[in-house]
């Protein structure tokens, strides 16, 4: 999750252990909702988010509006405070070879 550090919540594995069957196959939207509750409990709220998906395939541009809508609803922020972009590595690295994807995000917490 993109704001663990800013809210001083520790590592994501402390909350969603990959060894805990409770989290197996859970929706990322459920994880986001749970995380949002954690930051609110600490007195924070999301100001804005800038994120970039780095992948060769699949092409995700057509899904970005739906992703923005769902995420902004869960985080209870205006959609114009949430940016999701996608880019490729032009065939370079593991993303370019289709072996995986990467994501980068910056989040402002109030």
**Does some domain include residue 76?**
yes
In CATH, what number is assigned to the domain containing residue 81? 3.30.1330.50
The reported pLDDT for the residue numbered 3 is: 58
**Does some domain include residue 64?**
yes
C-alpha span between 69 and 91 (Å, rounded): 30
**How many domains does the chain contain in total?**
1
**Does some domain include residue 34?**
yes
Ranges of the chain whose pLDDT falls below 70:
1-4
Per residue in 65-91, pLDDT tens?
A: 999 999 999 999 999 999 999 999 988
**Does some domain include residue 2?**
no
C-alpha span between 70 and 65 (Å, rounded): 9
C-alpha span between 31 and 100 (Å, rounded): 21
User: Structural domain of residue 96, as residue ranges?
Assistant: 12-109
**Does some domain include residue 4?**
no
The reported pLDDT for the residue numbered 4 is: 65
């Amino acid at each position: 999750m993109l704001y663990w550090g800013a809210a001083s919540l520790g590592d994501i594995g402390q909350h969603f252990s990959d060894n805990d069957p409770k989290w197996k196959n859970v929706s990322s939207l459920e994880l986001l909702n749970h995380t949002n509750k954690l930051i609110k409990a600490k007195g924070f709220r999301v100001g804005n988010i800038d994120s970039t998906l780095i992948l060769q395939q699949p092409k995700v541009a057509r899904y970005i509006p739906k992703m923005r809508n769902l995420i902004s609803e869960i985080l209870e922020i205006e959609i114009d405070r949430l940016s999701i972009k996608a880019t490729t590595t032009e065939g370079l690295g593991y993303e370019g070879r289709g072996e995986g994807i990467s994501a980068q995000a910056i989040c402002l917490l109030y």
